[in-house]
Structure 1
Amino acid sequence: MRKLCTIMLLTAVTACSGAGQVLPSAAVTAGAAPGDPKDVVTGLAVPWAIAFLSDGADSDALVTERDSARLLRVSQAGKVTELGTVNGVRPDGEGGLMGVAVKGDQIFLYYTAEQDNRIVRYRLSGDTLSDERLLVQGIPKGGIHNGGRLAFGPDGYLYASTGETGDRALAQQRDSLGGKILRMTADGAPAPGNPFGTLVYSYGHRNVQGLAWDGSGRLYASEFGASTYDELNLVKAGGNYGWPEVEGRGDDSRFVNPIATWSTDEASPSGLAFANGSLWMGALRGARLWQIPLAADGSAGKPVAHFADRYGRLRAVTATPGGALWVGTSNKDGRGSPREGDDRIMSVTAAAG
């Protein structure tokens, strides 16, 4: 791998180009600190993703548990209803029941099956799932780097993140579904306008774990690095994000630079949400919630860490219809140290950036 010329460690402060030029960060800083988290529900096991059923402030949310393959309905008051164990899920390492997205009465799930990762669609009526339909299969699976995030963009299309499963070369192969961000219709077909006429929207990713859009409709993705730099990327259609040729900022015209990087011990980023002018990113190994204020042009200001080491590994981060955040711990995933009440989902007031 090429040697990187980078001095961006914990914040998007400065970076050096190949010519040694110092590049200033965006002149935007975070506002007041968020309020103390309040438990919504406790006693879960590796809640991986959260998606609200409607835009109403009192909306229930769907929550996936990675290792149990349970799909849960959680009310604002913390009532938990098990909708069922999803068919065909084969939890393995970092794989299992992962992403969830909602469009009307249709529920979309990303999971690890016997031979691959898949995206399926159900219909939800009350607390009953029906009409299972397989939308995408053949996404590479592995003990690590299965991607798994699902989210509908403001364009109405479904986006999915995939990992390269430890097979680094997959990320640069545009005919592979591994190491990509995918964009599709609600029926699983390539969305109109996709850059290559396939499901692939962007490539050169190691393991994207978070997807979020700002108020201007720009797409951001949080991504695991290897041993040096984790990344926050501003994602463009057809963009090549460099893995495995580049980890972090490379200043190579073939690849898109991240807009912020972290050392892997401070982040290992997962869920990502946008609220009140900032991106909010959960950190697994870093065990904190990162707030990244955004400038008007979409560039990142100086990231600020909240709740460091207070709640352990943080994975799921989702904006609520009421403007707060729901944040889920992941201390029962085999890499954390469970605390009393884990795993939990907390409500956090998102301070303005």
Structure 2
Amino acid sequence: MHRRRYLAALGAAAAVGGCAGRPRSDGTAADTASPDPDPDGGGTVDGGDDPDVAVETLATDLEVPWGAAYRDGDLYLTERPGRIVRLADGVEPVVADVPVKAVGEGGLLGLAFHPDEPYAYTHQTYEPTGGGTANRLVRHDLTDGWASEPLLTGIPGAHIHDGGRLLVHDDALYVTCGDAASEDRGQDPDVLAGSVLRVTLDGDPHPDNPSGSPVFSYGHRNPQGLVVRDGAVYSTEHGPQVGDEINVLTAGENYGWPEVTGPSDDDRFTDPVTSYTPTIAPASAAVYDGPIEAWRGDFFFGTLVAEHLHRVRFDGGGTDPGVAAEERLFEGEFGRIRTVFTGPEGHLHAVTSNRDGRGSPAATDDRVLRFVPA
């Protein structure tokens, strides 16, 4: 089978750390050892000389990888059509086939692991009884072949704007939910769409939420990035043609969609840390604490429309950051970049999303990339 050949080559690819760039017009691979700075908002990050960065290709021939998480040293990925894949030498790559409704931006999306118990969580688009499209949070028992147990169902879904990112933090599970193509849902705190949810690890509304529902914050269009920085939860969010956002999430706050995009003078709404116009489609979030000294403490996300790895340096911490500088890295080298995350040794990783119907796939797409010191 094709996937077994791919897995057998994984160890060699990781050890060699070969070039991972998109083909040049002359058919050779692009050298990705030095990122190109491109100011965006605050100017180029001042980290001394630009670090030399090598890009390793850990896996190829994936089909729209979306969620990513390490467990016991192995990397697990979701593929949007409904597969969970484990990347490790000598192991069958597909560990579970998950029935989902893989339409448009929906399907098998976010992935996270329980910090102590043998459970995984996924965000899934499905067709409920009676038809239509909805999203759900599902827990998988790793001791029982990834058996599924729905924890939260009936989250509004659609062809677009399904959110999908999961984050485990402080004994809670955070879930991003897009507005499911209905803007008005963003301003209704009683609807699970257009919001970020916070539930217990058993799927119940978190007792510290501002109401008895799972809703943690609302007024969101399509948030797809979640990460903890200095104890605070940060998100990235897709705007329409204007106003992509980085937000610090606070319980009960209203982030404005669809009344406003980006910052406003309206006290009803919480302003983003920064916003981007025209939109670049930020699709993830990670904080770097790895071996590349010039990147330590910086905030990274992948972009779909702008096709680059985005680096942000903040000049404040926790819930009160300010953007000191920004930089576009590897612009156009890999196409659409969705999920950016860090591994157990602190290395920054990224997955491409060129086979999602909106990209121009290279022969080896989709891929998992790892950024290491050159």
Q: TM-score range by the shorter chain?
A: 0.7 to 0.9
1:272 aligns with 2:285: yes
1:11 and 2:46 aligned: no
The aligned counterpart of 2:158 is 142
The residue number in structure 1 matching 2:308 is 288
Call closer, same or farther: CA 1:305–1:28 in 2, change over 3 Å.
closer
Other-structure match for 1:343:
366
Aligned residue in 1 for 2:146: 129
The alpha carbon displacement at 1:189 in A equals 0.4
TM-score where L is the length of structure 2: 0.81
Task: Work out whether residues 264 and 285 of structure 1, in 8 Å CA contact, stay in contact via their aligned partners in 2.
Answer: no
Query: In structure 1, what is the equivalent of residue 326 of structure 2?
Result: 303
| 1:99 is aligned to 2:110 | yes
Q: Who is 2:193 aligned against?
A: 178
Mapped partners of 2:69, 2:52: distance in 1: 21
Q: Identify which range, 133-142 or 290-299, moves more after superposition.
A: 290-299
3-state secondary structure, aligned to 2:283: strand
Q: CA deviation at 1:28?
A: 7.5
**C-alpha distance 325-287 of structure 1, shift in aligned 2 (>3 A):** same
Counterpart check, 1:209 vs 2:221: no
Who is 2:247 aligned against?
233
Aligned to 2:5: none
Task: Indicate if the aligned counterparts of 1:28 and 1:295 stay in contact, CA closer than 8 A.
Answer: no
- How far, CA to CA, are the matches of 1:262 and 1:80 in structure 2? 41
CA distance in 1, matches of 2:213, 2:367: 38
- Identical aligned pairs, as a percentage? 37
CA deviation profile, 1:143-174 (whole Å, cap 9, x unmatched): 11000001101x12000000001110000101
- SS of the aligned residue for 2:184 comes to helix
Cα 1:350/1:246, change in 2 over 3 Å: farther
8 Å CA contact 2:69, 2:75 repeated in 1: yes
The TM-score with structure 1 as length reference comes to 0.85
Q: In structure 2, what is the equivalent of residue 313 of structure 1?
A: 336
**Structure 2 CA distance for partners of 1:327 and 1:182, relative to 1, 3 Å:** same
Aligned residue runs from structure 1 range 147-162, under 5 A: 147-153=163-169, 155-162=170-177
- 1:51 maps onto 2:69 in alignment: yes
Shift of 1:125: 3.1
- Superposition misfits of 4+ residues, deviation over 2 angstroms: 10-13, 27-34, 77-80, 294-301
AA of the residue aligned to 2:96: G
Letter in 1 for 2:240: A
Deviation at 1:264, TM superposition (A): 3.7
> Which string of whole-angstrom CA distances, capped at 9 and with x for unpartnered residues, describes residues 91-140 of structure 1?
111100000000131010101000310001011139x313x211001110
How many Å apart are 1:287 and its aligned residue? 0.2
Confirm or deny that 1:328 pairs with 2:341. no
Give the match for residue 253 of structure 1.
267
Q: Deviations over 1:195-247 (max 9, x none)?
A: 12210100000000000011x21111000000112111111111110000111
One-letter code of the match for 1:341?
A: T
Aligned length: 319
Task: Give distance in 2, aligned partners of 1:119 and 1:63.
Answer: 16
Tell whether the 8 Å contact from 1:225 to 1:264 is kept in structure 2 after alignment. Answer: no
- Measured in 1, the distance between the counterparts of 2:232 and 2:59 equals 32
Match of 2:96 in 1: 84
Q: Give the conservation status (yes or no) of the 8 Å contact 1:41–1:344.
A: yes
Change (3 A) 1:85 1:248: same
Task: State the distance in 1 between where 2:120 and 2:137 align.
Answer: 10
Structure number with the higher helix fraction is 2
Q: Note the 1:107-118 alignment, pairs <5 A.
A: 107-114=120-127, 115-118=133-136
Structure 1 residues 34, 204: CA separation in 2 closer, same or farther (over 3 Å shift)?
farther
Cα distance in 1 between the residues matched to 2:372 and 2:206: 35
Larger relative contact order (Cα-Cα within 8 Å, sequence gap ≥ 6): 1
